[in-house]
């Protein structure tokens, strides 16, 4: 549940709406068959009207409803990689 990490930071109607949208639009699966990394595959919103959104920063995307299809891999050394 990726959206849980941002809960109650900004408890307002717009924030709740964006979080619900994030839950709906972030769909995918987690695989951890490799002991050195965890991979999240699916679709990720690139920009939820928030310029500080992590994927927005990484890929310099400005379209409000861009959705990325691919996977994010995190290794046990803390390296985060996106594969489109």
Q: Is 17 helix (H, G, I), strand (E, B) or coil?
A: helix
Of all residues in the chain, the percent with pLDDT exceeding 90 is: 0
pLDDT band at 61; cut points 50, 70, 90: very low
pLDDT band at 10; cut points 50, 70, 90: very low
Domain boundaries defined on the chain: 2-83
Quick check: 47 and 57 in contact, CB under 8 A?
Answer: no
Q: Quick one: the chain helix, strand, coil %, rounded to 5?
A: 30, 30, 40
Average pLDDT over residues 11-38: 53
């Amino acid at each position: 549940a990726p959206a849980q990490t941002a809960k109650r930071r900004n408890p307002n109607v717009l924030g709740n709406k964006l979080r619900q949208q994030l839950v709906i639009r972030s769909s995918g699966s987690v695989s951890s068959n490799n002991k050195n990394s965890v991979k999240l595959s699916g679709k990720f919103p690139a920009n939820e009207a928030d310029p500080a959104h992590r994927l927005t920063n990484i890929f310099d995307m400005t379209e409000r409803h861009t959705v990325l299809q691919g996977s994010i891999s995190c290794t046990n050394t803390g390296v985060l990689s996106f594969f489109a």
